[in-house]
């Protein structure tokens, strides 16, 4: 048994006989990617620091394909979420650079000959239909707290010139002006059966009152119909003019 295996065994064996009151992370002694099971004898609770060290030792203990899997697992240790407090290890820049370089080579060899999921052929209509069906069966509930977080995150941010050019290029060729009947029908079908919350209705009423007070409501703003040249409010324009007005343009 080499020194890395001894260190690994020392940490995992010690963890089996102790009780921790602090934050812990569940660790598979024999990793699942190496055919380890979820049985009790193969699981231990480690501190965040011990967990990172164990995954680091696993890259030293294995060779070949097994080592490649352990490098992937070690790279995944940097992923965090609200349930995890990943250990920020004070490893040197040289060690970090070596690990990143080795991960890059391993990942490149693993993906050789494969089509990355974010590249290659566009999704088929069958795949798109499956995704739409999954989303419809499991609708995402967006809370007001989430909306506020998104709004706060966008405050003060501006698009770069490069982003603006991309947005402009993306919009080229798309029809401008009033929506087509097809688009209206799609939106109508997509919103059928969805009830608006009381908060949504209250916010909508508040917005309409504010626009009316500022003189910006569509019932107050006047536009000229391109067909009959009459000056009407936006409210009337949408009902009687525009595509609904077939009168010849006056000289």
Q: What is the pLDDT of residues 89-121, one digit of tens each?
A: 555 556 656 676 777 788 788 777 776 666 666
Q: Choose among 118, 139, 249, 236: nearest CA to 194.
A: 139
Domain boundaries, the chain: 3-111, 203-251
d(CA 100, CA 16): 32
Query: What residues contact residue 28 under an 8 Å CB cut-off, 6+ apart?
Result: 36, 38, 42, 43
- Contact predicate 217/196, CB 8 Å: no
Q: Which of the two residues, 80 and 89, has the higher pLDDT score?
A: 80
Query: What residues contact residue 233 under an 8 Å CB cut-off, 6+ apart?
Result: 218, 219, 220, 221, 222, 223
Digit-coded pLDDT (tens) for 23-68: 788 899 999 999 999 899 999 999 888 888 898 899 989 988 898 8
Segments in 36-179 forming alpha helices (H): 48-61, 64-75, 93-111, 125-137, 144-154, 161-171
Whether the per-residue pLDDT at 15 is higher than 90: the answer is yes
Query: What residues contact residue 210 under an 8 Å CB cut-off, 6+ apart?
Result: none
User: Which pTM value belongs to this model?
Assistant: 0.41
Q: How far is CA 115 from CA 107, 111, 174, 189, in A?
A: 13, 8, 31, 36
- Which pLDDT band, with edges at 50, 70 and 90, does 247 fall under? low
Q: Which of the two residues, 160 and 177, has the higher pLDDT score?
A: 160
């Amino acid at each position: 048994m080499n020194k890395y295996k001894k260190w690994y065994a020392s940490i995992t064996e010690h963890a089996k006989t102790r009780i921790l009151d602090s934050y812990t992370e569940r660790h598979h002694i024999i990793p699942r990617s190496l055919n380890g099971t979820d049985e009790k004898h193969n699981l231990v609770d480690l501190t965040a620091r011990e967990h990172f060290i164990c995954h680091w030792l696993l890259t030293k203990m294995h060779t070949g394909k097994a080592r490649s899997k352990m490098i992937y697992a070690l790279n995944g240790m940097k992923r965090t979420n609200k349930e995890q407090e990943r250990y920020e290890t004070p490893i040197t820049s040289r060690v970090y650079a070596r690990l990143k370089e080795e991960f890059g080579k391993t990942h490149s060899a693993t993906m050789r000959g494969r089509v990355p999921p974010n590249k290659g052929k566009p999704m088929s209509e069958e795949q798109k239909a499956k995704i739409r069906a999954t989303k419809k069966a499991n609708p995402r509930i967006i809370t007001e707290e989430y909306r506020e977080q998104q709004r706060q995150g966008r405050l003060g941010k501006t698009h770069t010139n490069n982003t603006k050019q991309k947005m402009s290029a993306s919009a080229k060729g798309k029809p401008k002006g009033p929506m087509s009947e097809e688009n209206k029908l799609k939106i109508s079908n997509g919103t059928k059966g969805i009830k608006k919350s009381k908060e949504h209705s209250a916010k909508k009423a508040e917005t309409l009152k504010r626009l009316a007070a500022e003189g910006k409501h569509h019932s107050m703003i006047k536009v000229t119909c391109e067909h009959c040249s009459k000056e009407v409010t936006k409210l009337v324009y949408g009902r009687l003019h525009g595509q609904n007005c077939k009168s010849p343009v006056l000289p």
